A and B are shown apart, each in its own frame.
Chain A
Amino acid sequence: NAGVTQTPKFQVLKTGQSMTLQCAQDMNHEYMSWYRQDPGMGLRLIHYSVGAGITDQGEVPNGYNVSRSTTEDFPLRLLSAAPSQTSVYFCASSWNRRNTEAFFGQGTRLTVV
């Protein structure tokens, strides 16, 4: 059982480039979300989805885009990378939004130069 799989594990981008961080889960979870983790701060919610075709913004959505065409996949797109987006990105999933354990991917360490 793979759980939550994120790719790539590491990425270096130049300012202005775009890219997509991939996230897939094989647990048939309804709820998926993206977080960023910066030193000394808690994880911050970027975007989330409560099911296929439904997405919404979190705490820090600017500069990021998401879509959810299937239950399994929830990619995160950086539209035009900026140094402020240098961070570690985590994808998570759970059965639904309430009262359930969250499962996290291994993370993507992104550096924007």
Chain B
Amino acid sequence: KQEVTQIPAALSVPEGENLVLNCSFTDSAIYNLQWFRQDPGKGLTSLLLIQSSQREQTSGRLNASLDKSSGRSTLYIAASQPGDSATYLCAALSSNDYKLSFGAGTTVTVRA
């Protein structure tokens, strides 16, 4: 059974600092890995999707890397802003049963 872990559970940084969010997974048999953002009381919004054959994916200030062999993905957010405050979740799509396994998320607070 795929286990996805995100550490730390919460993070607080001053505005302008770069954010590094970690995601680890136990089973390397994945099709892709997705990063989501969740605002309080809202649904999940997809930020980046990295295919298993890719090493990284970029969108604006966001960059996500994937290392399947070590079971790790990292989301980098450059020059953080208060508007980046949210919970960030990662999810791995299994290539065995095509099910998404989610981490519990990292709650980020960016202080102005």
Chain A interface residues toward B at CB < 8 A: 4, 6, 33, 35, 40-45, 48, 58-59, 90, 92, 97-107, 109
Kindly state the interface size class of chain B when it binds its partner.
20 to 34
User: Majority SS of interface residues in chain A?
Assistant: loop
Q: Smallest distance from the beta carbon of A69 to chain B beta carbons, Å? A: 23
Total A-B pairs in contact (CB under 8 Å)?
57
User: Majority SS of interface residues in chain B?
Assistant: strand
Contacting pair B103 A98 (CB below 8 A): no
Chain B interface residues toward A at CB < 8 A: 4, 9, 31-32, 34, 36, 41-46, 49, 51, 89, 91, 93, 98-105
Contacting pair B44 A90 (CB below 8 A): yes
Contact of B46 among A6, A35, A48, A101 (CB under 8 A): A101
Contact of A90 among B4, B34, B43, B51 (CB under 8 A): B43
Once A42-B4, A90-B43, A106-B43 are accepted as A-B contacts, the answer to whether A101 and B34 lie under 8 Å apart by CB is yes
